[in-house]
Structure 1
């Protein structure tokens, strides 16, 4: 519950890598976030240090990320910050990852045209009739409805 939520504004540093996993689609890319500040001596804006984050997206966000982002595009990423430290072969390293909740183009730098993703219809998922909300179901209908819901959920997960 006490997760560190961050909002990072930067540019896509690597082409998103899309994978179909057993748990569903997954995509990752590197995000470059460069601080900018006003240099009073030079009287100009100057680039500061660049931080790199690995951004992870899952499920539909992963599919849309892979289809929408390319290297160099300005984006805004909101998600959970995960900082990991490890020692391998005598060297310690630190990795900062963001488990994305939301990703979008930064419209301060250009325009974007939103397109709703098409829903994928699967033949393995039977069409469910609209439940009768007017009358309470009898016991046999409840067990049949529960069984139908269980089959639908298992079909969606596979």
Structure 2
């Protein structure tokens, strides 16, 4: 299949809205704006240039995480499939760009964030038997560097956010 994947960095321009469909699926939608900037040599300043507006749809668990985490005005990075949403209206055939997001996150070039893993639903335990498959590891194939309760890979001795005093690391 040929999909057109894009990455768009910008700001959320309306509050993310989560909806549950009759099928039971859930989707969160928001609109974002990405404004290019240009350096004006005459004034020696950066100026806003053109703005690209796009609607973003986030399905399932991603949508739930977006609706609980992000708000209007937040800087975000969105990666997903871009396509043209088309519909008929009283003015005739209409269309607009839309992204079906696979990944959404805060833009850490423009701020800081506190990340928490989502709680995963427990896999029902089966009675062990001769033909029972081995229990699946929920972290199989994933890095275990930051499993809840485990220490970090290394200690830091400074605070880059600048809002707290640095705490020295014991030797």
TM over 0.5: yes
**CA–CA separation in structure 2 for the residues paired with 1:130 and 1:114:** 35
Rounded to whole Å, the distance in 1 between the matches of 2:34 and 2:91 is 29
Q: Give the Å deviation of 1:92.
A: 4.6
CA separation of 1:40/1:117 partners in 2, compared to 1, >3 Å: closer, same or farther?
same
The answer for the alignment partner of 2:54 in structure 1 is 53
| Cα shift at 1:49 | 1.3
Which one has the bigger helix percentage? 1
Please list, as runs of the form range in 1=range in 2, the aligned pairs for 1:63-74 lying within 5 A after superposition: 63-74=64-75
What are the Cα deviations for residues 51-74 of structure 1, in whole angstroms up to 9, with x where unaligned? 111100001000000000001110
The Cα RMSD (Å) is: 2.3
TM-score by structure 1 length?
A: 0.74
Residues 16-52 of structure 1: CA deviation (Å, up to 9, x unaligned): 0001222422100001111111112222101011111
Q: Deviations over 1:81-103 (max 9, x none)?
A: 01134552234533110000000
Structure 2 match to 1:147: none
For 1:82, the equivalent position in structure 2 comes to: 83
2:14 counterpart residue number? 14
Greater mean deviation of Cα atoms: 18-27 or 76-85: 18-27
Q: Structure 1 pair 130/4, CA: closer, same or farther in 2 (3 Å)? A: farther
Structure with higher strand content: 1
Q: Matches of residues 103-118 of structure 1 in structure 2 within 5 Å?
A: 103-118=104-119
Unaligned runs of 5+ in 2: 134-171
Shift in alpha-carbon separation, 1:48–1:129, aligned structure 2, 3 A:
same
Which structure's relative contact order is higher, taking Cα pairs within 8 Å and 6+ residues apart?
Answer: 1
Give the whole-Å Cα distance in 1 for the aligned partners of 2:86 and 2:95.
Answer: 4
Q: Which runs of 5+ in 1 are unaligned?
A: 143-158
